[in-house]
């Protein structure tokens, strides 16, 4: 039986291991911390179809189908039916792009329709839309379901090094052992570039840090709230995103801005995280009167971006080692898992994910 190692039990590693198991492979998932404790941490992520790169929008649309399958297999809805709202001057372009995709219903929203769907927001009359099959990913439920199904395959150990061997296999060295596999897939989030470097792969990943705050919804209703992206600058920020908790009682808000790229020793200036925190809370006071503006929870986390864009993603491969890097990968995880499983089993990365394809580039065809 083919034996594959996956390093990292975040959403991408778990999705890859899941897909490998569906193909009948024997899988070991190495995780040094708690599954879902890295970049995948915290409750809720946005599922949206709109991306600057139409190829990525199609890939994400395929991923939406796989999220439906996961929801059926695990017996619970993993994406809420609340929809994904976007406001700002980019809306007409997004609507045009999504119009070309099958099974991605959208609607423009006027001032009243926006208020009705998203009563937390202050008065706004600029361009707005809803992606009706977008919504909130129930991240904790997804991580729990996958971890439960793959529990027997998880090895709780820190991977120190990975390399291809002269015999065409791959070796994984951990704190407590050394083992050989037919292929290794690196899904280690902020640890991927470092491990890949040892395996002869040079990933152009940039690390920065990010903050997201949770706020109490003043008057929680029964209908699931939509996710929110504000590119309008109408409330003093032009890159803001938000998503509700599964019980509708909390709403998390983050700025797309991150700290300056980290140097080799990590964050240069921790005060930058504080500045992002204050800007986020100030935005909530201006834009979202439906929220109590006192932060009730924080998610701090590393962001890993590739040079061709904030939504960019790529997979690098050499010998028996494949590594994945990019940002905003939660929504894509089921489709990435499929693609990485294919790479591990065939030794060939699907063309769309090769770095030269620059998937997610804003200037792509
Ligand atoms: C606040 C925030 C908001 C976000 N919003 C969205 C959103 O709305 N929509 C969206 O799609 N995406 C969003 N993202 C991005 C998305 O969450 C990440 O891209 C995704 O979770 C990355 O998952 P991963 O499995 O690649 O990495 P991770 O979740 O970081 O998993 C990597 C795992 O590898 C383990 N590991 C690392 N090194 C080693 C080692 N040497 N040995 C063993 N184990 C190791 C780590 O412990 C970790 O558990 C957001 C991210 C953040 C932080």
Give the pocket of ligand 1 (CB within 6 Å). 7-13, 30-33, 37-40, 45-46, 158-159, 187-189, 191, 195, 210, 212, 241, 254, 299, 301, 327-331
Query: Which residue out of 35, 158, 226, 330 has the highest number of ligand 1 atoms within 8 Å of its CB and is therefore the one to mutate?
Result: 330
Domains, the chain, in order of start with CATH, read 3-39+142-204+308-357 (3.50.50.60), 84-132+206-305 (3.30.9.10)
Task: Give the residue, out of 178, 189, 229, 325, with the most ligand 1 atoms within 8 A of its beta carbon, to mutate for a pocket test.
Answer: 189
Give the per-residue SS3 of the chain: CCEEEEECCCHHHHHHHHHHHHCCCEEEEEECCCCCCCCCCCCCEEECCCCCCHHHHHHHHHHHHHHHHHHHHHCCCCECCCCEEEECCCHHHHHHHHHCCCCCCEEECCHHHHHHHCCCCCCCCCCEEEECCCEEECHHHHHHHHHHHHHHHEEECCEEEEEECCCCCEEEEECCEEEEECEEEECCHHHHHHHHHHCCCCCCCEEEEEEEEEEEECCCCCCCCCEEEECCCCCCCCCEEEEECCCCCEEEEEECCCCCCCECCECCCCHHHHHHHHHHHHHHHHHCCCEEEEEEEEEEEEEEEECCECCCEEEEEECCEEEEEECCCCCCHHHHHHHHHHHHHHCCCCHHHCHHHCECCCCCC
Q: Which of 11, 36, 147, 188 to mutate to test the pocket of ligand 1 (most atoms within 8 A of CB)?
A: 188
Residue showing tokens 């899941």: 18
pLDDT means over runs of 10, the chain (365 residues): 97 98 98 96 96 96 98 98 97 96 96 98 98 98 98 97 96 96 98 96 93 96 96 96 96 90 74 91 98 94 93 97 98 98 98 98 79
- Centre of ligand 1 from the C-alpha of residue 34, in Å: 12
What pLDDT does residue 167 have?
Answer: 95
Which is the closest atom of ligand 1 to the Cα of 157?
Answer: 43
Determine the pLDDT at residue 365. Answer: 64
User: 168-176: long-range contacts at Cβ-Cβ below 8 A with a sequence spacing of 24 or more?
Assistant: 168/319, 168/320, 169/320, 170/5, 170/199, 170/319, 170/320, 170/321, 172/5, 172/7, 172/30, 174/30
Instruction: Please report the pLDDT score of residue 266 as a whole number.
Output: 72
Please give the distance, rounded to the nearest whole angstrom, from the Cα atom of residue 214 to the centre of ligand 1: 19
Output the CA–CA distances (angstroms, integers) from residue 257 to 117, 296, 362, in the order listed. Answer: 26, 21, 17
40 Cα–ligand 1 center, Å: 4
**How far is residue 100's CA from residue 106's CA, in Å, rounded to a whole number?**
11
Contacts of 135 (CB under 8 A, 6+ apart): 47, 79, 80, 81, 82, 83, 84, 224, 226, 227
Q: Residues near 160 by Cβ (< 8 Å), separated by ≥ 6?
A: 173, 174, 175
Report the separation in Å between the CA atom of 174 and the middle of ligand 1, taken as the mean of its atom positions. 21
Distance CA 223, CA 80 (A): 10
**Nearest atom in ligand 1 to 331's CA:** 11
């Amino acid at each position: 039986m083919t034996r594959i190692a996956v390093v990292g039990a975040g959403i991408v590693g778990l999705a890859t291991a899941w897909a490998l198991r569906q193909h009948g492979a024997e899988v070991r998932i190495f995780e040094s911390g708690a599954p879902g404790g890295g970049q995948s941490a915290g409750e809720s992520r946005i599922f949206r179809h709109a991306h600057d790169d139409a190829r990525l929008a199609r890939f994400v649309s395929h991923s939406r189908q796989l999220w439906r399958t996961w929801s059926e297999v695990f017996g619970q809805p993993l994406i809420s039916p609340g929809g994904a709202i976007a406001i700002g001057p980019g809306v007409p372009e997004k609507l045009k792009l999504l119009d070309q995709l099958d099974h991605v219903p959208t609607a423009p929203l006027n001032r009243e329709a926006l208020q009705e769907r998203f009563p937390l927001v202050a008065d706004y009359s600029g361009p707005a839309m809803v992606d009706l099959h977008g919504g909130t990913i129930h991240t904790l439920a997804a991580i729990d379901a996958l971890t439960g199904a793959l529990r027997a395959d998880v090895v709780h150990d820190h991977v120190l090094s990975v390399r291809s061997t002269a015999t065409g296999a791959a070796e994984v060295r951990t704190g407590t052992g050394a083992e050989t596999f037919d292929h290794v897939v690196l899904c280690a989030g902020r640890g991927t570039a470092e491990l890949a470097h040892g395996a002869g792969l040079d990933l152009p990943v940039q690390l920065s840090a990010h903050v997201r705050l949770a706020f109490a919804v003043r008057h929680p209703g029964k209908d699931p709230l939509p996710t929110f992206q504000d590119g309008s600058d109408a409330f003093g920020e032009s890159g803001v995103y938000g998503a509700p908790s599964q019980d509708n009682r909390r709403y998390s808000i983050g700025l797309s801005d991150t700290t300056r790229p980290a140097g080799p020793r990590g964050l240069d200036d921790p005060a930058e995280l504080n500045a992002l925190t204050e800007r986020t809370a100030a935005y909530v006071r201006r834009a979202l009167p439906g929220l109590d503006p006192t932060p009730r929870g924080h998610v701090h986390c590393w962001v890993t971006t590739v040079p061709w864009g904030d939504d960019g993603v790529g997979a690098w491969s050499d010998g028996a080692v494949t590594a994945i890097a990019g940002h905003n990968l939660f929504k894509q995880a089921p489709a990435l898992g499929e693609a990485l499983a294919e790479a591990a089993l065939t030794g060939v990365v699907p063309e769309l994910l090769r770095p030269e394809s620059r998937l997610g580039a804003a200037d792509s065809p």
